Structure 1
Amino acid sequence: MENLISTLKHFSKLDFQSKQAVINNGRPMPELKDLLQTNGQKITRSFQTEWYQRKDWLCGCATKNRLYCFPCLLFSTCDNVWTNIGFGDLKNLPRSLNKHERSITHIQSQIALKTFGTSRIDLALNDQQRLNVSIHNAKVKENREILKDLINAVCFLAKQELAFRGNDESAKSSNRGNYVELLHAFAEKDETLARHLETSTVFSGLSNRIQNDLIEAVSDVIKNDIRHEINAAPFVGVEVDETTDVTNKAQVSVILRYVDTSDVKEAFLGFDDVSDDRRAPAIADYVLGVLGKYNCVEKLVAQTYDGAAVMASALNGVQAKIREKLANTITYYGTRYTVGMILCYGSTGGLTDFVEIIQIAILDNCVHFIVKLLAA
């Protein structure tokens, strides 16, 4: 029996099978006939085995004539009378039993005993969970690489100003459009992308909606970078052009010009449809709205407007409306050369021709400004 109590005390050092055998054998419950309470020669109290039924955690050692706590012997790391020398004070037994079973260490040991064996299931579940997480992470990593290819295709086509879609994007088409064909060209060198394009049924990345979403996402990233640069710039100029597209809709383009670490930059912000109201006040509100999105209204020092006649008017044009709301706008440049014409000549002609056009435009504006000043 003494060896059994010693084995219980070293329960944590046993292997799983031995631990399971100890628990299956149950707690030792000897009669403990020699556990007595005496008063001289008179026996006043003796241990009754019914205490084992009252407390399902109570066990005993016949060799030492002491009572122990079975769960605490197995799982508790704290030394007390119930795990060390054993309890033998029958006079205070009821009170000590109640006190011990309310202790935190005993409650923890009871829980450990009740759940022993299920921990192996927990470990198995944890292993499966770790495997699932590992598989998920690998899939996420693969999807990121695929998404990187999709974004690279979008950036390449946008940079080269190439159309994304084709007239026939079906699988049997010999030319499915630049975007789809470019991705298949990438797939020839990328097994992961090739497998994705062949097997994906939910998200292949080839649909028009996905193309638009990717274009919008890339645009948002670029605009955020522009916003950060403009926040650091002391001054900003705005260039606005208006033209009518093939669908007879008035499209306004906005370019912000600013200095970023000693380099002059121009940021094209895109086209917007202003067909509903092409009057100068509406266009002015639109321009101020764009400036507001980039937190640079108070930084505006220069403005250029080309295209629509309503914009070119010195009195009622957009520049006049802007100056009414921004009195601190020091100067603006209004030229008879539209931004589109300047860029067109600059991209097709030689550098000398391009510089000459710019110089003529600036000179024309200066003359116009001087004449207006003298006439005032």
Structure 2
Amino acid sequence: MNIYKQNTDIFEFDRLKCLRTDYYHNNCSECIDICPENAFIFDRGKLKLDEKSCKNCGVCVGVCPSEALSVNFFDPNGYIVSLNDSEVFLSCKKDTPCLSIFSTQNFITLALRKDKVSCDLSHCENCELNKENKIYESIKNRIDEANRFLKESKCDKKIEIKKISQDLGRRALFKKMFNNVKELSGEGIDIKSLSNVRNRIPIKNILLKNSIKKEIESINNSRISTNYSFLSNKKIDFDLCNNCSDCVKFCPTDALFYSNDSTTIWFQAGKCISCGICNNICEPKAIDNEENIDLIEYAFDRGKKLVEHKLEICSECKTPFAYKGGELICDRCKNFVNDFGDIFQLASDME
């Protein structure tokens, strides 16, 4: 039994992929906010699934930034790469579950790969899952975000929202498991490697990057804003950074990483899932977000140097530290002297 996974017969919650497990102070609450049955709870500070309350609806799958949630009867990523039609019509009354199973990245990927993408949201109004209209608003917000991305990148694509009143009849949803390992391997995705705790780039992000690569000629503006839920571009203030390495250690996807000599911190926007852990954990607040990002650098996983330090040996504790001029003493020792120097001076005077 895997103690890090909670399962119903259909639904799975992988705690090792959850951002709340990565960093205790992370405040991601996407699954909690959207769940119509309040099936996610906190028990002794840990996010857990109330298996008795879970209805296996899958509406939370599309909002999870790290793909910690899944259902065994439908994989949105596998479904996307298996589609052969040039025009796609998504409906919960056709061959998919609730459209909330798709993320913003999924919607953009579909739009980039297909000639036409339409979504049927007409059944949300009378759906028992759509309490307080939260599911409908969440799906629509994701589609709107996808369209905003397509518009800003000046790509001649758009996802349409249509209303179809009749029941279309499900064609193949429960006849086929949409895991599609073969199709995903064709995208350069190794499922086994992605199960590694330190290599957790969501498949939806990889598919999006592949789609941008394939459609790069149709993207007329590669420099766009980072005002999206899944995009982030980082910068580090040299004067504030003390090279403590916390941002690198806690990055769940290794988007932040060190050079071999631990003097330089690099960043790959294509691996970042915009979780904000690095910003929150940085005690001197040296990390901040850039307002823009280059989609070519993002799609091709190009790294950029954020900060480079010169290491010297502290004269007090004899450990390497990021030297910025002046005395050869690290911040820890300097703060210790400032905080407790009077005590040592008092002890010296009493001898």
Task: Name the TM-score class by shorter chain.
Answer: under 0.3
Normalised to the residue count of structure 2, the TM-score between the two structures is 0.21
The structure where helix makes up a greater share of residues is: 1
Relative contact order, CA 8 A, sep 6+: which one is greater? 2
TM-score when scaled to structure 1?
A: 0.20
Higher Rg: 1
